[in-house]
């Protein structure tokens, strides 16, 4: 009995399976189905954490140090300390609010002496809400 079977080699089957998988990934990516997956991941990552607040406080302290030598209120208004905000979800609604350095939960009190006056830099000194 001499049987000659025709079949596909194992390598061809493996290559075909990989090609189908790659094709499916391209289709999913092209249709935007990954967006839902990454949006959920972003929501988890964007939640307020102590680490985010600590990083913001550190950046605010550095920005405060940069304006300590300023001699003008105008320069102060355009400084990074006055303009930089941090996305922190303070009310746990899943949407981060833009928080200034002097607002809770960051609350970095920056004092600057300009013309003999010692100022604690907040909204009025930065020209916000005026």
Domain ranges of the chain: 10-42, 48-126
Q: What is the pLDDT of residue 108?
A: 81
Question: pTM of the predicted model, to two decimals?
Answer: 0.59
Q: What is the pLDDT of residue 15?
A: 94
The DSSP element (H or E) to which 43 belongs, if any, is helix 34-46
Positive/negative CA dihedral, 120, 121, 122, 127: positive
**CA separation for the pair 76, 53 (Å, rounded):** 23
Block means of pLDDT (10 residues each) for the chain, 130 residues, are 68 93 86 61 55 90 88 86 90 87 87 86 77
Q: What is the pLDDT of residue 36?
A: 60
Q: What is the pLDDT of residue 119?
A: 84
102 neighbors 122 (Cβ within 8 angstroms): yes
């Amino acid at each position: 009995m001499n049987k000659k079977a025709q079949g596909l080699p194992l390598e061809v089957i493996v290559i075909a399976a990989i090609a189908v998988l790659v094709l499916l990934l391209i289709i999913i990516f092209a249709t935007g189905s990954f967006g839902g997956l990454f949006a959920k991941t972003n929501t988890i990552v964007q939640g307020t954490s102590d680490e985010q607040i600590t990083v913001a406080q550190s950046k605010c302290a550095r920005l405060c140090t940069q304006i300590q030598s300023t001699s003008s209120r105008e320069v102060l208004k355009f400084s990074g300390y006055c303009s930089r905000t941090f996305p922190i979800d303070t009310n746990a609604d899943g949407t981060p609010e833009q928080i200034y350095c002097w607002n809770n939960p960051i609350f970095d009190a920056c004092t600057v002496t300009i013309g003999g006056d010692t100022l604690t830099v907040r909204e009025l000194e930065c020209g916000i809400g005026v």
